[in-house]
A = this chain, B = another copy of it.
Amino acid sequence: MAPTIKDIAKLANVSHTTVSRALNNSPLIKEVTRKKIAEIAAQVGYVPNYNAKSLVMQRSYTIGLFFTSIANGTTSGFFSDTIRGVNSVIDVEYNLFIRGIDDYTEYSSIHRKRFDGIILMSQSEADNKFIYHVVQQGIPIVVLNRQIDDRSIINIISNDREGAYNAGKHLIEAGHQDIAIIEGVEGFKSTQERRDGFIKALIDHNIPVRNDYMRSGNYDMQSGYEAMGKLLDLEKPPTAVFCSNDDMAIGAMKSVFERGLQVPNDVSIVGFDDSGFSLFANPSLTTVKRPIEKISEQGARRLLSLIKEPIENDVLISIDTEFIARESVRKLSK
C-alpha cells in the first residue's frame, strides 16, 4: 500500500504530527529533522492523500471549468482553446473538471466542498441561474466571455461589439451598401453583442437596416450555409455578409461557391473569431480575432488569486478584438 505520514513517522522515529509539519514546512520543525523527513518521504515515494487532506482542510483541489453547453453551439476551436488556456495556468496539483451546464438538471452536486473555484465560459443569459447558485454557495467564480451585471463577480470578456462594429465599418468603407448579417445562436449574449455592433456600424454610416438582410444561424457551418442560401435567393442579394463567427462564414462561402459565384468577387464575407482554418480557407477569411486563449488564461490566473485571497475588487476586464483583413472582402470601386 502507498505509504502514509505514519509510515514515515515510524521510519524517522518521530510522531506523524512532526512529519506533517515537516512536509508542510512548518517553522516548528528543526531544519535537520525536516531534511531527514523529506529524504525519507522521497525515498519511500510518499504522495499525500488528497482526500484526507481535502476532508480536513475543507478544500477540494478541484477547479471546475464549465461551458454553457459542450454539445451545442460550442465550436471545437473555441472549446479547445479555452481548455488549453486554462490548462496552461492551472498546475497539476489541481484537478480540472470540465462540464457543460446543460449536463445538469439541478445543481446540488455543485458546492463548496467539491470545487475550490469555478471558471465559467458563458455564452448564454440562461447561465445566470447557474452563476447565482455558485455565488450563493460561496464558491469563487470567474465568468468569461459574457458580460454580467453583478459587479462583485470577476468578469473577463472580449469586446465583441466593437469587433463587429469594425467588421461592419470595413465592409462599408470598401464601398458596400447592401450588407447582410448571419447571426449566432439565439439567446447567446455574443450573438446580441455582435448584432448590435454591426447594426451600429450601419447606422453610423447612414445605411438602412434591412430586415431581410438579417438571418439567424446557430454558429455551426451548416447554419451558415443555409442562411447564405436564403440570402442569395433574395431578389436583391447583398454584396457583403457579416457572419457572426468563422464557422458560419465557411458554410456561407460554400453556399456561394455552389451557385457558381465567387468570394469575394460576387459576395464579400467577413467572419468572427479567427479560428484556426480562417487563414487557410480559400479565399482566406477576413475576420475579427477574438483572444479566447488569452481570456481563459487571464481567467484562470484571476481565479487562482481569488482563491488565495478572497478580495472582491470589482473586476471587469475587456480584451480588445483585432480586425484581420484577408482576402474575402472585395473593394467596390463605385
A residues touching B (Cβ–Cβ < 8 Å)?
2, 45, 47, 49-52, 54-55, 60, 62, 70-71, 74, 76-77, 79-81, 83-84, 87-88, 92-93, 95-100, 103-104, 108-109, 111-114, 221, 225, 247, 250-251, 253-254, 257, 276-277, 279-282, 284
Question: A281 — which chain B residues lie within 8 A by C-beta?
Answer: 250, 281-282
Residues of B within 8 A of A88 (CB): 71
By the criterion CB–CB under 8 Å, are A71 and B98 in contact? no
With A95-B95, A97-B96, A282-B253 in contact, do A55 and B49 touch (Cβ < 8 Å)? yes
Task: List, in ascending order, chain B residues with CB within 8 A of A98's CB.
Answer: 83, 87, 96, 98
| Contact A280 to B71, CB < 8 A, known contacts A80-B79, A92-B99 | no
Which chain B residues lie closer than 8 Å to A96 at the CB level?
A: 97-99
Q: How distant is A238 from chain B, measured CB to nearest CB, in Å?
A: 20
Closest Cβ of chain B to A84, distance in Å, is: 6
> Which residues of B lie under 8 Å from residue A113 when comparing CB positions?
2, 47, 49-51
- Tell me whether A225 and B280 are in contact (CB under 8 A): yes
With A76-B76, A109-B92 as known contacts, state yes or no: A52 contacts B55, CB within 8 Å. Answer: yes
Assess the B79–A2 pair: CB atoms within 8 A: no
- Complexed CA–CA distance, A50 and B62 (Å): 12
Report how many copies the assembly holds.
2
> Is there an interface contact between A95 and B51, defined as CB atoms closer than 8 Å?
no
- For A221, the closest partner residue in chain B by CB is B280
The one of B47, B92, B253, B282 in contact with A103, judged by C-beta atoms closer than 8 angstroms, is B92
Q: B51, B79, B93, B108: which contacts A55 (Cβ < 8 A)?
A: B51
Q: Contacts A76-B76, A108-B45: A254 and B276 contacting too (C-beta < 8 A)?
A: no
User: Closest residue to A74 on the B side, CB-wise?
Assistant: B80
Q: For residue A47, which residue of chain B has the nearest CB?
A: B108
Establish whether residues A47 and B111, one from each chain, have CB atoms under 8 Å apart when the complex forms.
yes
**Can you list 28 pairs linking A and B with CB atoms under 8 Å apart?**
A2-B111, A2-B113, A47-B108, A47-B109, A49-B55, A49-B113, A50-B113, A51-B60, A51-B113, A52-B55, A62-B95, A70-B83, A70-B84, A71-B84, A76-B80, A87-B100, A87-B103, A92-B103, A92-B109, A95-B95, A221-B280, A225-B280, A251-B280, A253-B282, A254-B280, A254-B284, A277-B277, A281-B281
Contact, CB under 8 Å: B95 / A97: yes
Q: Chain B residues near A225 (CB, 8 Å)?
A: 280
* Alpha-carbon separation in the docked complex, A281 to B283 (Å): 10
